[in-house]
Amino acid sequence: MKNRNYGALKEAHPYLGDFFLTRGLAEPDQAESVADYLKGLSEAFLEEKGILRDSFEEEMELFIKAMESLGQKQSLSTLEIRGGWGKDGASEPVESLLIRTGEVVSVVGPTGSGKSRLLEDIECLAQADTPTGRNILIDGGEPEKGRRFSLDRKMVAQISQNMNFVMDCSAYEFVKLHGESRMIRDPEETAREVVELANELAGEKFSGDTALTSLSGGQSRALMIADTACLSRSPIVLIDEIENAGVDRKRALELLVKQEKMVFLATHDPLLALMADRRIVINGGAMAKIIETEESEREALLELEKADNLLFRARETLRYGKTL
């Protein structure tokens, strides 16, 4: 790398200009090597910029590695939740729960029971440092300290009840920017695919030209689910109540599982609860028990889906001004 000219380096790493920009430096000439570029900078100038000549190229290589890691899918085989205590201070009945990649786990319980708190513990990869005292283990061990709160290597993606966009851009432009930040090969085509996929999930269709701030709650969540499935490198997805968002719930879960995501969803919806492989029952802030979804429940799910489809058609009929 030391002897390559800057033009060749930037062709291989198009984002390299940002490394110089953030340090208040002009980019080297295309035919100039970084070593020769540094020779042309005085010690006084480097000191003013807070730059160490001896470590500059090493820092540049670390920057390149960090940027390349943005485009790499993070590996995960298992996540273990080790119980802490409930709101009454007693130990959680469920001492440990092991979840594997590709599994869907629903979190059920009364309003205020602590479902969202469990998702928050997973999101921050808690290490007995939250009100519940839970520990989250990644592939059998403690997560690296640098990864718990890392923005560029985040293990967890979250889709919450309220998705409020403030960016002044279209849905297509938003996804394209996300794709570029992940350094995917064709961000334009990927953005089109994500918007198309989001429309398969959303009850009400929208175009890529639709402003983010004009999207409904259901459209916003459909866009983020499609974006998470296609662009997020985080292997864990947390979903907090999507039942009333006008999203094709079954299709959304199938999409995330297909992308080898580990999915946790807090829900009051019996369909979503039964679509999961297992469900965690929360009571009094504690994991009270784990229920495996049995064959009899899957048969009941088919009947519930028929009833849900009937209600959906009725809602659509009334929504568009027709009579039942």
Question: What are the tens digits of pLDDT across the range 114-127?
Answer: 999 999 999 999 99
| Averaged pLDDT for residues 257-279 | 90
Please give the backbone phi and psi of residue 213, each rounded to the nearest 5 degrees, phi first. -70, -10
Assess whether pLDDT exceeds 60 at residue 2.
Answer: no
| Averaged pLDDT for residues 191-198 | 93
Largest CA distance in the chain: 81
pLDDT digits (tens, 9 = 90+) for 10-59: 888 887 888 888 888 889 888 888 888 888 999 999 888 888 888 888 88
Tokens for 48, please give them: 């003013």
Contact status, residue 86 vs residue 92, Cβ threshold 8 Å? yes
Assess whether pLDDT exceeds 60 at residue 71.
Answer: no
Coil, helix or strand for 254? helix
Most confident option among 239-248, 286-295, 303-312:
286-295
Coil, helix or strand for 196? helix
**Domain locations in the chain?**
6-69, 102-123+144-293
107: which strand partners? 266, 280
- Rounded to the nearest 10°, the torsion over CA 155, 159, 160, 166 is 100
Task: Return the minimum-mean-pLDDT range out of 81-90, 92-101, 256-265.
Answer: 256-265
162 Cβ contact list (under 8 Å, min separation 6): 217
Query: What's the CATH superfamily of 102-123+144-293?
Result: P-loop containing nucleotide triphosphate hydrolases (3.40.50.300)
Query: Residue 287 — very low, low, confident or very high, per pLDDT cuts 50/70/90?
Result: very high
CA 184 to chain centre: 16
- Give the residue among 79, 220, 80 at the shortest CA–CA distance from 159: 220
The rounded mean pLDDT for the chain is 87
Tokens for 157, please give them: 């993606």
- pLDDT value at residue 1: 58
Rounded-to-5 percentages of helix, strand, coil across the chain: 45, 15, 40
In whole angstroms, what is the distance from residue 104 CA to residue 102 CA?
7
Assess whether pLDDT exceeds 70 at residue 146.
Answer: no
The neighbour count for residue 11, using CB atoms within 10 Å, is 11
Contact status, residue 279 vs residue 107, Cβ threshold 8 Å? yes
Match 């540049």 to its residue by tokens.
60
Assess whether pLDDT exceeds 90 at residue 278.
Answer: yes
Assess whether pLDDT exceeds 60 at residue 139.
Answer: yes
Assess whether pLDDT exceeds 60 at residue 244.
Answer: no
Query: Residue 299 — very low, low, confident or very high, per pLDDT cuts 50/70/90?
Result: very high
Query: Residue 246 — very low, low, confident or very high, per pLDDT cuts 50/70/90?
Result: low
The neighbour count for residue 120, using CB atoms within 10 Å, is 17
Give the helix ranges, DSSP H, for the chain. Answer: 6-12, 16-21, 34-39, 43-49, 56-69, 115-123, 145-148, 171-181, 187-201, 217-231, 249-258, 270-275, 295-319
Assess whether pLDDT exceeds 60 at residue 101.
Answer: yes
Give 83 or 59, the one with higher predicted confidence: 83
In whole angstroms, what is the distance from residue 324 CA to residue 310 CA?
11
